[in-house]
Amino acid sequence: MAEFWTTSGLDLLVATQRSRRRASLEDGLRQAIESGRLAYGTRLPSSRSLADDLGWSRGTVTAAYDQLISDGYLHARQGSATVVGFRPDRSNTVAEATPSGTPWRYDLRPGTTPIGSFPVEEWLRHQGSALRDAPPTAFGYGDPAGTIELRTALAAYLGRVRGIRASPETIVITAGITQALSLLAAVLRQTHPGRTIATEDPGFWFHRDALARSGLPIVPLPVDQEGADPQGLDVAAVLVTPAHQYPTGVTMSPARRRSLVAWARGNDALIIEDDYDGELRHDRRPVPALQADAPDRVIFAGTASKALSPAVRVGWLVVPEALVDTVGQTQRHLLHNVDITTQLGLAHVISHHAYDQRVRAIRVAYRRRYQQLSALVSTLTESFPGMRLVGVRAGGQAPLLLPPAGPSEQDIVASAASEGLALEELAASSHTPGSHPPGLLLGYAHPADHRYHATLQALGRVLRREFA
């Protein structure tokens, strides 16, 4: 490894390796940009002067610059200098590192929203107005079920958008669905001591883990093309994702919704409805929440993580009347309250229809991203039959099934990691890995806009290489 100060034109300190000239220049510049050492707008030496300084051919430097331009790290305009076009502190960094310790260049893992898209100014405006109008009593310990402003705004919003039957009194504010599940686990331990809960198989591993850590025994809830099927299970509750099953992407059929509710009534069981991205169907109107079919049996759980940000940490439960007191009292001891600035800010955002506008904008963006992903997969399917996207078009992730005769999911994830692309295998969602068809769960919400094309190209490269 050598370090060079270039001596003409502009100075640039960059670590390079003689044996992998282009790749090492690319890596060195990328790391310098991602770490903020080369700030947004910094002018780089021309390819000619850098090539002279390094004693390399100009083509090698140009190739490295071109790759960084297509990845969104650099900007070049005809006739003017190449500059850094990436702001690491805002929208683009992926904090964790690859197994080899370098930062991820591309990320298609599910579960995150575009980091750069939080509407800071708008949020501050709504929060400011809400706090200025709040009565002095708002700044006390408050009701552990949440502020009346947010619960009232949510009751109206959820009725209008998700078909939910709720009064503000049946709503409990949480710090997102994950916290809501720990809360419900504590409630179930009181109301159904010694009983188990069934979580979807495949299903969201993190929530399975959260429930297990809360001390509830867990059994698998089978999922087929109609959604989760609880027949034959003897459990106190099931956790389901009816609008957009995670990860298979199926929407629960009307017949299965009816049989699920009938099963719950027949077994005196509760249904916890995880509606994480219920508003974000992007090919047609979303199906109404299951809660509307059985408000006495279904605990509805929603979140602002998908439409606003997972960092804001706010969600909501709509609870059957018979459970309102127990859930509220349990929340008093677990969390007490989501902070007042978030609650009042969100109430203002919802009641001024800014939440609707944001959901609508996200749907449009995700529809476009899905189409680009789907176009890539169509070309891959021609060479590798059996590779296909499945599930409805909703939210920010889609399962990609892989030809069973090909390399293992783990091999593909490892191969992708070697070029800085983060992927998640479908097996992560299974109660028993290996028991479901092989695939990847592609989260297309995360990359910044200008990185999306390059991210899909990286995915295409990895899949072609692995299946060739």
Ligand X SMILES: Cc1ncc(COP(=O)(O)O)c(C=O)c1O
Q: Write out the two tokens for 370.
A: 């899905």
- In the complex, the smallest distance separating the C-beta of residue 210 from ligand X, rounded to whole angstroms, is 9
CA 223 – CA 205 distance, rounded (Å): 14
Indicate the residue among 48 and 213 with the shorter CB distance to ligand X: 213
Indicate the residue among 46 and 182 with the shorter CB distance to ligand X: 182
Q: Write out the two tokens for 279.
A: 């508003």
State the amino acid at position 372 in one-letter form. Q
The secondary structure of 421-448 as a DSSP string is EE--BGGGG-SSTTSS--EEEEE-SSS-
Indicate the residue among 85 and 111 with the shorter CB distance to ligand X: 111
CA 392 – CA 376 distance, rounded (Å): 17
Indicate the residue among 84 and 166 with the shorter CB distance to ligand X: 166
Cα three-residue angle 408-410-415, rounded to 5 degrees: 100
Options 6, 251, 305, 342; binder of ligand X; rule CB under 6 A: 305
The secondary structure of 388-403 as a DSSP string is EE-S-SBTTEEEEE--
- In the complex, the smallest distance separating the C-beta of residue 26 from ligand X, rounded to whole angstroms, is 32
Does an H or E element contain 416, and which?
helix 409-418
Site string for ligand X, 285-304 (x = CB under 6 A): ------------------x-
> Which of positions 100-119 make contact with ligand X (CB under 6 A)?
111
The secondary structure of 318-362 as a DSSP string is E--GGGHHHHHHHHHHHT----HHHHHHHHHHHHTTHHHHHHHHH
- In the complex, the smallest distance separating the C-beta of residue 53 from ligand X, rounded to whole angstroms, is 47
The single residue listed with the structure tokens 């198989």 is 201
State the amino acid at position 319 in one-letter form. V
- In the complex, the smallest distance separating the C-beta of residue 276 from ligand X, rounded to whole angstroms, is 3
- How many other CB atoms are there within 10 angstroms of residue 385's CB atom? 9
- In the complex, the smallest distance separating the C-beta of residue 184 from ligand X, rounded to whole angstroms, is 13
Instruction: Give yes or no for a cis peptide into 168 (omega within 30° of 0).
Output: no
- In the complex, the smallest distance separating the C-beta of residue 316 from ligand X, rounded to whole angstroms, is 10
Indicate the residue among 276 and 452 with the shorter CB distance to ligand X: 276
Indicate the residue among 34 and 274 with the shorter CB distance to ligand X: 274
Query: Which residue, 359, 197, 186, 344, is CA-closest to 276?
Result: 359
- In the complex, the smallest distance separating the C-beta of residue 177 from ligand X, rounded to whole angstroms, is 4
- In the complex, the smallest distance separating the C-beta of residue 189 from ligand X, rounded to whole angstroms, is 20
Indicate the residue among 71 and 425 with the shorter CB distance to ligand X: 425
Cβ neighbours for 196, distance < 8 A, ≥ 6 positions apart: 216, 217, 218, 219, 235, 236
Indicate the residue among 49 and 178 with the shorter CB distance to ligand X: 178
Q: Is 459 left (phi over 0), alpha (psi -120 to 50) or beta?
A: alpha
CA 75 – CA 44 distance, rounded (Å): 10
> Which of positions 307-326 make contact with ligand X (CB under 6 A)?
310, 315
Indicate the residue among 177 and 394 with the shorter CB distance to ligand X: 177
Indicate the residue among 51 and 238 with the shorter CB distance to ligand X: 238
CA 393 – CA 438 distance, rounded (Å): 20
Q: Write out the two tokens for 104.
A: 């991820």
- Residue 276 is a binding residue for ligand X (CB under 6 A): yes
CA 443 – CA 447 distance, rounded (Å): 9
> Which of positions 130-189 make contact with ligand X (CB under 6 A)?
176-178
Site string for ligand X, 184-213 (x = CB under 6 A): --------------------x---------
Interface with ligand X (CB under 6 A): 111, 176-178, 204, 241, 246, 274, 276, 303, 305, 310, 315
